């Protein structure tokens, strides 16, 4: 049996729940008050405790990494504590030992000092389920000749949304104040059919989105024409449907309001959450990383000098917002996207989470044709989903 086939069969067994370990989680009781009193606990009396060290990337890059480790922990029979000391959402005014605790209850009732070692990275391995990546070498053409290539990692749609949802139910429990804000917004605004749209701002390049955007006409590096085509098709079928638009970019929000909002030819209700935004997006990025990245992009002529200066201005302006509140904003937007009736999206960990949070949510992935052309393994991914769907009935 070839390695790809063996891996594929392993995925089917794993995602269908056939491969499991001795660890289980318990739902916290509804009267929960303190996260230290009712953390999700492992059945094992003497658990194998590891440490999951999360990084400085955005909220859902880390949340989805966490969920994939929840799945692996159940498979292999260990528990873990979390260290998010490198979080971009750290706020010195909040009295919590770790930024993870600003937003979530801990997954297990264990202390990080009990950990026997750090968990290895599962990036771009078969252990990724909610947010799988695959590496590709992209050719660089100069005057119609391939001169060179560069390696990039494409963020794929979730391998198994049902399995992702199980991990969310098992280990990801929001603090009550965040849940209340999500419930309040959806109760007051989601009246009737709502199409969810997620599109990142001009500075978004990770997960392969930079490559995809080069293949389309863009405005300030944002593929408006492409995503508008999907939105137009959906709205044409549903005359009373509203839009809920989530983005880290005020520029993107303004474009959707101008095209689809009241006073436009469409005259639709364009809903947004009142989140902190600047035009360029990437709100969580540190000044140091943002400066380094933007200056490198200017040197490579990826941006004009004027566009680069605007990005640097937005970078400093983004620091006027509370780091904690930026984390709350993106959590709320992702959960609201999962409560819409249909989701139109590009490449993002946010939409991968939303699709897992409601596995029945229908969606349009605007870059799917490009992904099919680039990634031969997509056929196995689709075939795997078909088989898993049969297993789950």
Please state, in angstroms and rounded to a whole number, the distance separating the CA atoms of residues 24 and 167.
11
Q: Render pLDDT for 57-69 as a digit per residue (tens, 0 to 9).
A: 889 999 999 999 9
Would the pLDDT of 231 be above 90?
Answer: yes
Q: Is the pLDDT of residue 55 over 70?
A: yes
319: three-class secondary structure by DSSP: helix
Q: Work out the pLDDT band at 213, boundaries 50, 70, 90.
A: confident
pLDDT per position as a tens digit, 312-356? 655 545 556 688 888 999 999 999 999 999 999 999 999 999 999
- Count of beta carbons in the 10 Å neighbourhood of residue 150: 10
Q: Provide the CA 1 distance to its chain's centre, in angstroms.
A: 34
Q: If we measure between CA atoms, which residue out of 336, 23, 349, 378 comes closest to residue 164?
A: 349
Range with lowest mean pLDDT among 26-35, 82-91, 237-246, 280-289: 26-35
By C-alpha distance, which of 39, 40, 7, 44 is closest to 22?
Answer: 44
Q: Where do the domains of the chain lie, and which CATH numbers do they carry? A: 176-368 (3.40.50.11350)
Which of 19-23, 112-116, 196-200 has the least mean pLDDT?
A: 19-23
| Long-range CB contacts for residues 250-258, cutoff 8 Å, separation at least 24 | 250/277, 250/278, 250/279, 251/201, 251/202, 251/220, 251/222, 251/279, 251/280, 252/199, 252/200, 252/201, 252/222, 252/281, 253/277, 255/219, 255/222, 255/224, 256/197
pTM attached to this predicted model: 0.78
Q: What is the pLDDT of residue 335?
A: 98
Between 288 and 90, the more confident residue is 90
Closest CA to 335 of 323, 346, 343: 343
Helices 59-76 and 349-357, interaxial angle, to 10°?
A: 50
- Give me the percent of the chain exceeding a pLDDT of 70: 67
pLDDT digits (tens, 9 = 90+) for 259-271: 999 999 999 999 9
Cα 369–chain centre separation = 21
CA dist 381 and 124 (Å) reads 14
- Reported as a pLDDT band with limits 50, 70 and 90, residue 392 is very low
User: Alpha-carbon distance 197 to 342, whole Å?
Assistant: 8
- At 95 the pLDDT is 82
């Amino acid at each position: 049996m070839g390695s790809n086939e063996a891996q594929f069969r392993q995925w089917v067994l794993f995602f269908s729940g056939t491969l499991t370990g001795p660890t289980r989680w318990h739902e916290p009781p509804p009267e929960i008050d303190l996260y230290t009193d009712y953390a999700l606990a492992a059945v094992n009396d003497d658990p194998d405790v590891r440490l999951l060290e999360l990084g400085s990337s955005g909220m859902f890059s880390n949340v989805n990494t966490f969920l994939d480790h929840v799945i692996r922990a159940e498979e292999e029979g260990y528990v873990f504590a979390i260290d998010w000391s490198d979080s971009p959402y750290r706020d010195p005014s909040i009295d919590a030992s770790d930024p993870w605790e600003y937003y979530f209850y801990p997954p297990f009732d264990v202390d990080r000092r009990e950990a026997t070692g750090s968990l290895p990275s599962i990036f771009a391995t078969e252990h990724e389920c909610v947010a799988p990546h695959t590496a590709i070498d992209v050719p660089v053409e100069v005057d119609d000749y391939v001169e060179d290539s560069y390696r990039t990692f494409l963020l794929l749609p979730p391998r198994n949304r049902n399995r992702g949802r199980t991990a969310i139910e098992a280990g990801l429990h929001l603090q009550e104040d965040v849940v209340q804000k999500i419930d309040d917004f959806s109760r007051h605004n989601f009246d009737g059919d709502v199409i969810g749209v997620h599109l990142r701002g001009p500075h978004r390049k990770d997960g392969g989105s930079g490559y995809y955007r080069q293949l389309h006409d863009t405005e300030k590096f944002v593929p408006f024409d492409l995503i508008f085509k999907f939105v137009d098709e959906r709205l044409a079928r549903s005359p009373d449907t509203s839009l809920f638009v989530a983005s880290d970019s005020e520029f993107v929000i303004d474009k959707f309001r101008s095209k689809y909002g009241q006073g436009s030819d469409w005259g639709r209700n364009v809903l947004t959450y009142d989140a902190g935004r600047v035009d360029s997006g990437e709100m969580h990025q540190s000044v140091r990383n943002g400066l380094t990245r933007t200056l490198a992009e200017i040197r490579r002529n990826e941006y004009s000098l004027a566009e680069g200066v605007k990005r640097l201005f937005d970078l400093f302006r983004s620091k006027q917002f509370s780091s904690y509140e930026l984390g709350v904003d993106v959590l709320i937007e992702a959960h609201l996207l999962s409560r819409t009736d249909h989701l139109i999206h590009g490449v993002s960990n946010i939409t991968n989470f939303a699709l897992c949070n409601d596995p029945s949510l229908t969606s349009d992935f605007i870059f799917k044709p490009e992904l099919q052309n680039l990634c031969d393994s997509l056929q196995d991914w689709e075939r795997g989903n078909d088989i898993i769907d049969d297993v789950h009935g």
